[in-house]
Structure 1
């Protein structure tokens, strides 16, 4: 953690308006996750990939993914790349999505979505029962 404190001090020293420690358990979506990305890529070599039944949108660049190769590549890249959620939402809207459900624990993406486009209903769903009630 000393390195993080040193980096924060250095950024403030060169005039950064805001530099803060983020409360995360690991440096997800940064180049520091390179070794994990390599392990994931190797593990994916043993996966039998199928074509998706519906388009997927990459959080790396907001692109529509329709092939197994593109999905595999995007999943590996997302470990070390920042999440471009604004681009994802734009792509989803262009595909006709008019309601978003965030499935799983937490509501980070729902919160971001509400700030990006207040016109689109967005809910966080944490349980199977809640998902079934929603759809």
Structure 2
């Protein structure tokens, strides 16, 4: 079994994911979460659904949920041949490959979130635009003080920037014939130059981590380059904060590894759907499609 992993980013988190982490995180991981999320330390407290979209809650929460799932699955599955992470998900991909531990990753995600919030105060957001030529999407975005942040697939881009700009560009995309517009549950202009100020501090934090050989290659979401050592993977984590992502190229790189199956770990199933559209010949599922980790293991080991 040649298994590839995809780790989802922000946008699909729900109160159910908060509850999963609440019930499953203990030991060092639970203590790390309690330090960065005050509500986690109080068993009677939980963030409102709209609060789950804030960086300071979403980033450590999603990372912890992903690492809990991977921790439960790892011993029952073959070693992956590669991993990739969508935006925040690249933190989990690096951790799963051994660049840093889960508890340390929670702290890093909290620092990442704080750096991003500090670099771009105010009201920002991200909008997925489907069905329009890339050049038109980019042109209309620039005219409204936005920038292309992610290329998911041909004619499927994500733009980011001030919420006022997003509000202004929506009717223009509609008039141009966009097949779908989706406001993402993210409140920061991720992967744009607006977050340049967040990179140096986060890179300085990552630079103190030890270099080591990764357990499997991690593809950078920036350009699909494969890191087999921790240092280039960590450098990419810092750069991607303010650099557009070519997720389409990343998925193609995973496809070219010829996996027998692909598993998306984290909230939602958007990455599984994107990969399924690109490579319908390769079985792909998301953890959220299953009721328990046992179901995921049964699916992946059914023919072995």
SS in 2 for 1:40: helix
When normalised by structure 1's length, the TM-score is 0.76
Q: Runs of 4+ in structure 1 displaced over 6 angstroms? A: none
Residue number in structure 1 paired with 2:219? 57
Say whether residues 1:68 and 2:212 are aligned partners: no
SS in 2 for 1:79: coil
When normalised by structure 2's length, the TM-score is 0.38
**Alignment: residue pair count:** 132
Say whether residues 1:22 and 2:183 are aligned partners: yes
- Between the aligned partners of 1:134 and 1:48, the Cα distance in structure 2 is 36
1:134 CA drift (Å): 4.6
Say whether residues 1:94 and 2:256 are aligned partners: yes
- Between the aligned partners of 2:278 and 2:295, the Cα distance in structure 1 is 24
Structure 1 portions without partners, runs of 5+: none
More strand by share: 2
Residue number in structure 2 paired with 1:120? 282
1:133 CA drift (Å): 4.5
- Between the aligned partners of 2:201 and 2:287, the Cα distance in structure 1 is 30
Q: Which moved more, 1:54-63 or 1:80-89?
A: 80-89
SS in 2 for 1:74: helix
Cα distance, 1:20–1:104 mapped onto 2, change above 3 Å: closer
CA RMSD in angstroms comes to: 2.9
More helix by share: 2
SS in 2 for 1:42: helix
Cα distance, 1:5–1:93 mapped onto 2, change above 3 Å: closer
Say whether residues 1:108 and 2:236 are aligned partners: no
- Between the aligned partners of 1:30 and 1:132, the Cα distance in structure 2 is 38
- Between the aligned partners of 1:40 and 1:116, the Cα distance in structure 2 is 33
Cα distance, 1:108–1:28 mapped onto 2, change above 3 Å: farther
Higher-RCO chain (CA-CA 8 Å, sequence separation at least 6): 2
- Checking the alignment, whether the CA contact within 8 Å between 2:199 and 2:239 is kept in structure 1 is yes
Residue number in structure 1 paired with 2:209? 47
1:129 CA drift (Å): 4.8
Q: Which moved more, 1:39-48 or 1:27-36?
A: 27-36
